[in-house]
Structure 1
Amino acid sequence: MLRWVIVLIVFGGVDLYAFQAIKTISRGQWLLWLYVIISVLIYGYMTYVFFNYDRSIGPNAATLRAIGLFLLMFLPKVVLFVIMFGEDILRVFIGGYNYLTDNFFSGTSEKYIPTRRLFLSKLALGLSAIPFASLLYGIFKGKYNYKVLKYTLYFEDLPEAFDGFKLTQISDIHSGSFDDKDAIEYAVDLINDQDTDVILFTGDIVNTKAEEMDPWINTFKRIKTPEFGKYSVLGNHDYGEYVSWPSKIEKEANFEAIKNIHNKIDFKLLLNESRYIEKNGQRLALIGVENWGKSFKKAGDLDLATKHISSDDFKILMSHDPSHWEYEVKSHKEHYHLTLSGHTHGLQFGIEIPGFFKWSPVQYVYKQWAGIYKEAGQYINVNRGFGFHAYPGRVGIWPEISVIELKKGSDNA
């Protein structure tokens, strides 16, 4: 009960300040009424979707739409709230100063607390338009604004036969969220255009249910199989744990169906197991673990996955959640040269200026959240994700296809 009271206070406070900003600049009642009507309609729709949410079905188009509308409405209001509340704090201090002046220094103030400034209200509304426009762009364009990000990584102990070896990584397809076939076809073409040696998918092929992938099987089957194959692992969403199931049997059947999807699109699913990739008499080890997350399902088993692997092998590890690297992989007795993860999506919201600046709220949860990181001579690439989930868009953190070239030598080469 207390939780709902806090939520209502927060929402009410944010809306009150947004209303005050509109009221300050409005010369008539029509703008105020328009604001109220739109807010009531969106809150009403959200409430309807929330109370009719079916946990046996899970997230659907209505859920995504409701989340999108909520963010479109609420985040700009938060900007208004911060500015207007800041002004109120200043007004209170000025009022206190005026009061003290009047009562102790024979001042003649007639009004202690000054009125709201029109300029500041206009500024607040102008600034609130930035997240509104960004979120709107993210919904209609940003979520399919695919980027190919290329990296070159150097390893002194890379087998010579693999000098120049290229891999393409995709992650977090979340097929249940897709709504534009042409955009996905374009993305698949981008993958095929990279002309790499192996393609690796690091989990979350669906939001929850295997059937979400049914309309997209033929599309993803178009991903060309390169010389050294296509491999994949599972992510936290692939276990069907975010919905209610009528029975354990149906949940297990869904899990089996999700695993079978990988075979349907010609990917070899690695379930706590490994494969050798051989070239010119030399080899590297490709290891795939099930999901292991600090805050999510821990099904990954590194020791099981590497039981047939030698300590001297060059190792590429596929593990969906980057917290696995932070809390287990990088301190493991075995040396994992390169780990490939996804999971974070970069929160689908942030600011990136390549080579200069990178920020997203998700960085306060995950130490490694987007791109390449290196510690103790080990690398991890956290792919920003192919699809989207919850918020039906992307702002600043675009969908990614990673292309990584392995080179023999030192970082200074």
Structure 2
Amino acid sequence: MPRWIFPLIILLAIILIVEIYAFQAFKTISKNKFVRFSFLFLSLAVYVNFLITMLTYSRSDGQTPQFQMAVGLLLTFTIPKLVIIIMLFGEDMYRWIAKGISAISSGETKSLPSRRKFISQLALGLAAIPFASFIYGIIQGKYNYKVIKYQLSFKDLPDAFDGFTITQISDIHSGSFTNKEKIQYGVDLINQQKSDIMLFTGDIVNNTADEMNDWIDVFDKLEAKEGKYSILGNHDYGDYIDWKSPEDKKDNFKAVKDIHKKIGFDLLLDEHRYLEKDGQKIALLGVENWGKGFNQAGDLQKASANIKKEDFKILMSHDPSHWEEKVKKDDFNYHLTLSGHTHGLQMGIEIPGWFKWSPSQFVYKQWAGLYEEAGRFINVNRGFGYHAFPGRVGIWPEITVIELKKA
């Protein structure tokens, strides 16, 4: 028996249980057979569409809009059903326990109490919340750009840079875009911040350089008074698709790097630049991608060559695990690190200043927003674009503006 048969049987059993519970709840709001079978047909169509997409999907194509939509529909119709099964399974446990207690106390075996209609309807009502959220996230949420501003103070910031502003964007993922008007709105919002410099922290494409062809005339309009600088992300290396030859992959990588020049960014590949004002300077460093457990191309020591320890330093490193594993512990003192990569998983719950949660936090210690340890900061940008799931739910696309202040 092939090794994949048993996991497949388990998966199908889980899907069957989820669908049985969901259908039991749905029956409480409609006795019309046409409505009920429409519900079953729609659920089956989502699974079949996903299965066909996966069977016909080729890694050489990268993540197509069809692939992303299949994933989006699967999540939209499955996650709400998990809410239903949690509530109904919980009530089933209560019913079985009540039956057991009754049998012990009376000595008689009684029939299982019937499920309360109210519980099923309540489960459906609660499930409607994530369902509506996912629909909104796919249609509009992925364009719900938010400008998030921070003011950071440092004792050793050169006086000339007091009030210096940085706009950070990250994870464009141009291969996912479909609406030029909405993307243009996001670019205009970036320019409205009128920051001194603009920093892009990686993943300009999903996989191939040609994904950016239709968007160069949009992103080359980005403006910053003192310059625009960028680094690479893990997707920019073309590691996630099958290439016909190593030469094709190499040519694509060169083309991806050339995109940065076409849109006016200075791409830093384990390099640094000094930013100067009134005879004073700060160091801006950019490393290639470095992720915990994969694609550790970045060389922090190479990027820091010829920089003094006492220099004020801003580091661009795509994956925040680099900061957690290497940067924050380095006694060379990198004052501010700017990352992206996580997207906050593009779904979660955020109440600014009160609460922040996403499944992303189970993978990354720093997954969205500003973090500080021992006077060293990292900002993890939630990303401008989207990937895999064609939407955003609760974790909105981000434009970060950071103002540096002399403490």
Superposition TM-score, scaled by structure 2 size: 0.97
Shift in Å at residue 365 of structure 1?
Answer: 1.1
Q: Find runs of 4+ consecutive structure 1 residues off by over 3 angstroms.
A: none
Partners of 2:374 and 2:181 in 1: CA distance: 43
2:132 equivalent in structure 1: 133
Shift in Å at residue 26 of structure 1?
Answer: 3.2
The DSSP-based 3-state class of the residue aligned with 1:56 is helix
Structure 1 contact 322–341 (Cα < 8 Å) conserved: yes
Shift in Å at residue 39 of structure 1?
Answer: 1.1
For residues 301-316 of structure 1, the aligned pairs below 5 Å read 301-316=299-314
Letter matched to residue 374 of structure 1? E
2:207 equivalent in structure 1: 208
For residues 215-364 of structure 1, the aligned pairs below 5 Å read 215-224=214-223, 226-364=224-362
Cα shift readout 1:109-155 (whole Å, capped 9, x = no counterpart) = 7x331111100000000000000000000011110000111100000
Cα shift readout 1:268-312 (whole Å, capped 9, x = no counterpart) = 000001010011000000000000111431101100110121111
Partners of 1:20 and 1:92 in 2: CA distance: 17
The answer to whether structure 1 residue 15 and structure 2 residue 19 are counterparts is yes
Cα shift readout 1:200-251 (whole Å, capped 9, x = no counterpart) = 0000000111110000001000112x23210000001001011111111101
For residues 393-404 of structure 1, the aligned pairs below 5 Å read 393-404=391-402
Shift in Å at residue 95 of structure 1?
Answer: 1.4
Give the CA RMSD over aligned residues: 1.1
Shift in Å at residue 100 of structure 1?
Answer: 1.6
Shift in Å at residue 357 of structure 1?
Answer: 1.1
2:145 equivalent in structure 1: 146
The DSSP-based 3-state class of the residue aligned with 1:173 is coil
2:55 equivalent in structure 1: 51
Partners of 2:32 and 2:273 in 1: CA distance: 70
Partners of 1:295 and 1:121 in 2: CA distance: 44
Structure 2 contact 169–201 (Cα < 8 Å) conserved: yes
The DSSP-based 3-state class of the residue aligned with 1:339 is strand
Partners of 2:324 and 2:199 in 1: CA distance: 21
Partners of 2:349 and 2:209 in 1: CA distance: 33
Partners of 1:71 and 1:248 in 2: CA distance: 35
Structure 1 contact 291–319 (Cα < 8 Å) conserved: yes
The answer to whether structure 1 residue 34 and structure 2 residue 34 are counterparts is no
Cα shift readout 1:44-78 (whole Å, capped 9, x = no counterpart) = 11111010001111110101110111011101111
The answer to whether structure 1 residue 5 and structure 2 residue 3 are counterparts is no
The DSSP-based 3-state class of the residue aligned with 2:399 is strand
Partners of 1:28 and 1:287 in 2: CA distance: 64
Shift in Å at residue 8 of structure 1?
Answer: 1.4
Partners of 2:10 and 2:236 in 1: CA distance: 34
1:113 equivalent in structure 2: 112
Cα shift readout 1:366-409 (whole Å, capped 9, x = no counterpart) = 11111111001100000010000111111111100000000000
Q: How many residues align?
A: 403
1:62 equivalent in structure 2: 66
The DSSP-based 3-state class of the residue aligned with 2:99 is helix
Shift in Å at residue 3 of structure 1?
Answer: 2.2
1:199 equivalent in structure 2: 198
Letter matched to residue 254 of structure 2? E
Structure 2 contact 194–225 (Cα < 8 Å) conserved: no
Shift in Å at residue 83 of structure 1?
Answer: 0.6
The DSSP-based 3-state class of the residue aligned with 1:51 is helix
Moved more, 363-372 or 199-208: 363-372
Letter matched to residue 45 of structure 2? L
Fraction of identical pairs, as percent: 58
The DSSP-based 3-state class of the residue aligned with 1:316 is strand
Shift in Å at residue 43 of structure 1?
Answer: 1.2
Letter matched to residue 70 of structure 2? A
Gaps of 5+ in 1: none
Partners of 2:33 and 2:44 in 1: CA distance: 17
Cα shift readout 1:2-36 (whole Å, capped 9, x = no counterpart) = 32222212212211111121234432322321111
2:384 equivalent in structure 1: 386
Gaps of 5+ in 2: none
Letter matched to residue 274 of structure 1? H
Letter matched to residue 179 of structure 1? T
Partners of 1:3 and 1:248 in 2: CA distance: 34
Superposition TM-score, scaled by structure 1 size: 0.96
Partners of 1:30 and 1:272 in 2: CA distance: 62
The DSSP-based 3-state class of the residue aligned with 1:215 is coil
Letter matched to residue 221 of structure 1? D
Partners of 2:325 and 2:259 in 1: CA distance: 30
Cα shift readout 1:289-336 (whole Å, capped 9, x = no counterpart) = 000111431101100110121111100000000010000000013100
Partners of 1:278 and 1:27 in 2: CA distance: 73
Change (3 A) 1:112 1:101: farther
Partners of 1:219 and 1:25 in 2: CA distance: 48
